[in-house]
């Protein structure tokens, strides 16, 4: 069976347009209006979906970790737990964002970092789920989210092929609507660690699912290479201003960058074509000015029997290439044929001029 991944109204196959996710994460800084503005910009840039992250911080971190001092330049509170709480939206805010995205006509979903978060997201009927790289082999969470029967996207940063296989074998018996993403969990990673050829490895290892690419680099070119290697779902971190406070802002794309990713992925899809070499209408006018024709090397009278000395290869003024046009490789066909009319110097010789088809 051909690969297929369905997420909301989006159906992704090897032949379909790409599915582009704007990963907002916590670039919204815990501000609802800022989050909505980022969502709107993602829609305007052409993204198919926007994604944020949901954590139940008390369930996710130990008490010691939650209460640990946090003095990063990106901190919003003095302890790590309260810093994380500042960035979280509650159930009512998620519902508000869901309704806003419905108005925008863009898919809205979230990463579930723990089981309470997964339950909350399912209670408001999220259309699908992302599993972060850190939970690649968190089989209890994988099984729980798979049981919801919604599409699942799994990132594989920091993992091995064996780890990706564990996730695949955990989810697929429960839910076959799965996409596995090549990802390197640097923020951002050096380009030599992107290892895009893993996309090909995943396509061979998991021939029945769509493969994607979560691109943590700060540029716009790598998704195109991912597309050529077979990825069809793409995730790029997205913000309105890369100078804003936050760990992900600096390597996120701004609207112009995301617009280029969306544009170039679609250009790549249509530009690949069907592999059949054929001339196109757009080439007609340029080639009329570039392709040499067979012309008379001197004035020739009607009845003259042609030799190769009688022909030259030139580009005439205003002539169009037609079925009657003779090109240089056809010149030898003229040898031994008598002209049916007089020809002037450098006048094109056609098939009709020598009575050949």
Residue 33 is predicted with a pLDDT of 97
Q: Per-residue pLDDT tens for 204-232? A: 999 999 999 999 998 999 999 999 999 99
Q: Per-residue pLDDT tens for 321-330? A: 888 889 999 9
CA distance 326 to 354: 11
- Show the tokens assigned to 11: 């159906």
- Asked whether the predicted pLDDT for residue 332 surpasses 90, the reply is yes
Q: Are 305 and 338 in contact (CB under 8 A)?
A: yes
All domains in the chain, ordered by first residue? 4-272 (3.20.20.70), 281-354 (3.90.1210.10)
Confidence band of 356 (pLDDT split at 50, 70, 90): confident
Residue 322 is predicted with a pLDDT of 82
- Asked whether the predicted pLDDT for residue 258 surpasses 80, the reply is yes
CA distance 231 to 228: 7
Beta bridge partners of 49: 21, 107
CA distance 50 to 59: 25
Average per-residue pLDDT for the chain = 95
Confidence band of 297 (pLDDT split at 50, 70, 90): very high
How far CA 199 is from CA of 39, 179, 350, in Å, comes to: 28, 12, 53
Q: Are 217 and 188 in contact (CB under 8 A)?
A: yes
Residue 204 is predicted with a pLDDT of 98
Q: Per-residue pLDDT tens for 94-118? A: 999 999 999 999 999 999 999 999 9
Residue 28 is predicted with a pLDDT of 96
CA distance 144 to 118: 8
Q: Which residues contact 134 (CB under 8 A, 6 or more apart)?
A: 113, 158, 185
Beta-carbon count within 10 A of 328 CB:
13
Q: Per-residue pLDDT tens for 71-82? A: 888 899 999 999
Measured in Å, how far apart are the chain's first and last C-alpha atoms? 48
Q: Is the peptide bond before 188 cis (omega within 30 degrees of 0)?
A: yes
According to DSSP, residue 336 is labeled T
- Asked whether the predicted pLDDT for residue 284 surpasses 90, the reply is no
- Asked whether the predicted pLDDT for residue 320 surpasses 80, the reply is no
Q: Are 144 and 134 in contact (CB under 8 A)?
A: no
Show the beta-strand stretches assigned E in 164-298: 178-183, 210-215, 233-237, 293-296
- Asked whether the predicted pLDDT for residue 318 surpasses 80, the reply is no
59 burial level (CB within 10 Å; 0-12, 13-18, 19+): exposed
Residue 275 is predicted with a pLDDT of 94
- Asked whether the predicted pLDDT for residue 335 surpasses 90, the reply is yes
Residue 323 is predicted with a pLDDT of 83
Beta-carbon count within 10 A of 73 CB:
6
Q: What is the pTM of this model?
A: 0.90
- Show the tokens assigned to 149: 């029967």
Residue 179 is predicted with a pLDDT of 98
- Show the tokens assigned to 83: 């810093």
């Amino acid at each position: 069976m051909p690969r297929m991944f369905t997420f909301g109204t989006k159906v992704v196959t090897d032949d379909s347009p790409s599915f582009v996710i704007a990963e907002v994460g916590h670039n919204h800084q815990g501000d609802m209006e800022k989050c909505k503005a980022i969502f709107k910009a993602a829609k305007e840039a052409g993204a198919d979906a926007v994604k944020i992250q949901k954590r139940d911080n008390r369930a996710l971190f130990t008490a010691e970790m939650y209460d640990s001092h946090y003095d990063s330049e990106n901190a919003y509170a003095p302890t790590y737990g309260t810093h994380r709480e500042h960035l979280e939206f509650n159930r009512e805010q998620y519902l508000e964002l869901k309704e806003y995205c419905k108005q925008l006509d863009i898919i809205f979903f979230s990463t579930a970092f723990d089981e309470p978060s997964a339950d909350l997201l399912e209670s408001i009927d999220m259309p699908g789920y992302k599993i972060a790289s850190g939970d690649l082999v968190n089989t209890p969470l994988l099984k729980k989210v798979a049981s919801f029967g919604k599409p699942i996207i799994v990132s594989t940063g920091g993992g091995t092929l064996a780890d990706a296989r564990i996730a695949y074998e955990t989810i697929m018996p429960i839910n076959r609507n799965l996409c596995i993403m090549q990802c390197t969990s640097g923020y951002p990673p050096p380009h030599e660690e992107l290892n895009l050829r893993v996309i090909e490895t995943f396509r061979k290892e998991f021939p029945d699912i769509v493969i994607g690419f979560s691109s943590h680099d700060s540029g716009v070119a790598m998704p195109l290479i991912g597309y050529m290697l077979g990825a069809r779902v793409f995730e790029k971190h997205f913000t309105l201003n890369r100078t804003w406070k936050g760990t992900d802002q600096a390597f996120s794309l701004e609207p112009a960058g995301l617009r280029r990713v969306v544009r170039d992925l679609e250009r790549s899809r249509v530009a690949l074509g069907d592999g059949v070499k054929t001339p196109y209408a757009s080439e007609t006018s340029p080639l009329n000015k570039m392709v040499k024709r067979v012309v008379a090397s001197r004035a020739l009278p009607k009845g003259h029997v042609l030799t190769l000395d009688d022909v030259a290869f030139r580009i005439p003024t205003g002539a169009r290439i037609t079925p009657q046009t003779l090109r240089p490789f056809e010149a030898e066909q003229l040898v031994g044929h008598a002209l049916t009319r007089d020809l002037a110097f450098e006048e094109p010789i056609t098939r009709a001029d020598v009575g050949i088809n």
